[in-house]
Every structure is written in structure tokens, then in C-alpha cells.
Structure 1
Amino acid sequence: MWAELINLSDHFPWLSLPPLQGHDNKACPGHPAHSWPKSGGGPRWAQTTAALLIIGCILAIICFILSFLALCKEQEGLLRVIGFILFVAVLIQLIGLIIYPIKFTDILIQRGAYEYSWSYGFGWGATILMIGCGIFFCCLSKYKDELYGLTKPYYIYQSP
């Protein structure tokens, strides 16, 4: 969840473009010196990508709050619901993380060299962690007795 907030803090510039030699930086429309405004400008695909990541982040926050409710109030029915919501958030984020480089490459393929910044990799890391959390919450209901302390503890070592 925090990883997605840090990822969204960079807004659109998920790419680091090296300066062109022999060119005026202000004349290059894709260069960071002449980048899109942070107030919501930019192409539709960039706005859509940002919106998809924000929706995924909101779903992760909702799952975080629901997990407290499910674990503190002992409502094991919510555990699989949380897992399902996390998988929906993963799907939404995957769409956003795939659309962005495809559309950006279509626009800047003529420029040549470009590399993605750390925030794009951070978004992929957050998505992979959400996949693991979704699997965890889907499987957690099988261990509800151990989770809520309803079983007798089994000790491997018995004192003499």
C-alpha cells in the first residue's frame, strides 16, 4: 500500500530521459524540461494509467481496513472477500502498469534512449506483493481455528 502511494507521488514521469546532445531541450516535447504539468494535464492514456493506479491503491487501503475488522472481530467470512478484492486491485494495477510503457514507447520511440525510473519498478513490486497478500488471505480461512486460538497448542519439546 505505501509502495503505491510512493509510486503515485511521481505522477507521470516514470521515465528518465537523458539530455539530447546538440539539441535545445525546450524544443523537445517529451523532455522533462518540457514535461506535462502536474495539475492533471497530459494525454488521456497517462491520465487513465494514473487513475488505474489510484483505484488499485484505494482498494488496497480498503482491504487493509477490512483485515482489521476480519481479524479483530473474528469474522472469517471476510478473509476470502479481502483476497478477492486484492486480486481485483492486482488486475487493475497490471492493466495500468502495462498500458503506460506501451503507449509511452509508441510516442517516444523516435527519440531513442530512455529508461524507466525507480517508481515504475516500485509499482511492479507493490503489485507482486499484492498478489502474495491475495493468496495469503484466500488461504487464511483454512486455519481459522489456529488463527483465533481455538485449538490446543502443540509443543514439539516436552519438558521431563
Structure 2
Amino acid sequence: MSYAWGRGAAGTFLVGFVLVVICFALSIIAFAIPTLRFNFIRGIGGLCFVAAVFSLMGLVIYAVMITKYIPPPVGMVMQFDWSYGFGWTMCIMAIGLGFFFCCLPLYEDHILGNVKPYYYPDI
């Protein structure tokens, strides 16, 4: 792309994607090794939030600048393709996974089975 904003938007979204891939690899390691299970889960959540910020920046830069500098043909409406929707999906999922990984250590004992189950009495 010849526009600097296009390269910048693609770069920021690519950084967000790479961070999500790193989060995925770290989460596989965190859940596969029992001794490291909950040691760095919140760090993975924080990295997911950083990835969401980068992807959000790329999506906003792209949408604002493409409508500003590349006008649609006369009588047509500017439409984004499926990849823009895929980018928003990745951004929203990164935010959701960030909350998930940040809240998961609060329930460590429940997940590992160290808490006695509570049974509700029959009424």
C-alpha cells in the first residue's frame, strides 16, 4: 500500500495478532505444566489486553483514514469486506480472554479440586 496510514494500520494490527499468538502459546504452556499452572495467568490476561489495544488502534486508523482519503465511487456506499469484521472479532475476543485470564486465578482452588463441594439441600 502506498499510503503511510495503511502501512501503520497493518503494522499495529499485525503486532496485535502476534501478541494474541504469543498469548495462545503461553496459555497452552500454563495449562499443560501442572507446576506452572496459575503462576503467570494474569500476565497472559494483561498481554491479551495489550493485543486488543493494538488491534483496536489498527482498526480505527484503517476505518477513519480509508473513508477520508479514498472516497467511494459516485452513487455507491463504502463497504468493508469480511477481513474487517474478522479484525473486530479478534479484538473483542482478546478483550474477553483478557478478562477471563485475569479472573481465572481467583478460582484456582475450585479448578484444582481443593475445595469441598457444597451441595444445595433439597427443598
Asked if these proteins are the same fold (TM beyond 0.5), I'd say yes
Following TM superposition, by how much is the alpha carbon of 1:117 offset from its aligned partner in structure 2, in angstroms? 0.9
Residues 89, 106 of structure 1: alpha-carbon distance in 2 compared, 3 angstrom cutoff? same
The residue aligned with 1:65 is 25
The residue aligned with 2:93 is 129
Output the CA distance in 1 between the equivalents of 2:30 and 2:120.
30
Following TM superposition, by how much is the alpha carbon of 1:141 offset from its aligned partner in structure 2, in angstroms? 0.5
Tell me if 1:42 matches 2:6.
no
The residue aligned with 2:113 is 149
Output the CA distance in 2 between the equivalents of 1:157 and 1:59.
46
Which of the residues 87, 90, 100 maps onto 2:49?
A: 87
Q: In 1, are the aligned partners of 2:41 and 2:101 still within 8 Å (CA)?
A: yes
Following TM superposition, by how much is the alpha carbon of 1:55 offset from its aligned partner in structure 2, in angstroms? 0.9
The residue aligned with 1:7 is none
Q: RMSD in angstroms over aligned alpha carbons?
A: 1.9
Residues 61, 157 of structure 1: alpha-carbon distance in 2 compared, 3 angstrom cutoff? farther
Following TM superposition, by how much is the alpha carbon of 1:137 offset from its aligned partner in structure 2, in angstroms? 0.3
Output the CA distance in 1 between the equivalents of 2:86 and 2:11.
17
Residues 110, 53 of structure 1: alpha-carbon distance in 2 compared, 3 angstrom cutoff? closer
* Secondary structure, aligned partner of 2:87: helix
Question: Percent identity between the aligned chains?
Answer: 38
What is the TM-score of this pair, normalised by structure 1?
Answer: 0.66
Following TM superposition, by how much is the alpha carbon of 1:114 offset from its aligned partner in structure 2, in angstroms? 1.8
Output the CA distance in 2 between the equivalents of 1:108 and 1:147.
52
Output the CA distance in 2 between the equivalents of 1:53 and 1:147.
34
The residue aligned with 2:102 is 138
